[in-house]
Amino acid sequence: MTELAEGKKAPAFKMAASGGREVSSAALKGKPYLIYFYPKADTPGCTKQACGVQEALPQLGKVGIEVIGVSPDAMPPIEKFAKKYGLEFPLASDADHKVAEAFGVWVEKSMYGKTYMGMERSSFLVGADGKIARIWRKVKPDQHAAQVLEAAAAL
């Protein structure tokens, strides 16, 4: 797999999402969007990140940016997470990690000396042309929304 970089075409995707929705790159054709990857629904960092994005939705909407959150969770925990925090943007399930692998965010991680595969907290701002305008790797949940808003304004 080639490393994704700013200016390259974003990988195609299609996933089931919260609220009975489906998200796909085809449906977003011609629109700018933020696709962000998070490790697990309803954990402290992921909650902080999702709530920050939710708060930024009105400003992101003003500049026409759609938002999709993606985790390896199955739909039931994602639905519960979205409902619990009133998250209006779609949260998608990438249980087979295909989309995460395409974006290069299904990575080897380690905790307490054990290594395992998991989702790297990363975000990709994609322009209306389908090309990646900005990449954030190893995102800090509490700074994420502000960084996205700043970059979105420059699109």
Enumerate domains of the chain plus CATH numbers: 14-140 (3.40.30.10)
Assess contact for 131 and 39: CB atoms under 8 A: no
Q: Give the residue numbers annotated as catalytic, written as ranges.
A: 46
Average pLDDT in the chain: 93
- Min mean pLDDT across 67-76, 94-103, 145-154 is at 145-154
- Which pLDDT score, from 0 to 100, does residue 1 have? 45
Q: Does the pLDDT at position 2 exceed 60?
A: no
Q: pTM of the predicted model, to two decimals?
A: 0.93
- Mean pLDDT along residues 130-138: 94
3 pLDDT band (50/70/90 cuts)? confident
Q: Which residue has the higher pLDDT, 16 or 146?
A: 16
Token readout for 125 is: 């701002």
**DSSP 8-state symbol, 32:** -
State how far the Cα of 79 lies from the Cα of 48, in Å rounded to an integer: 17
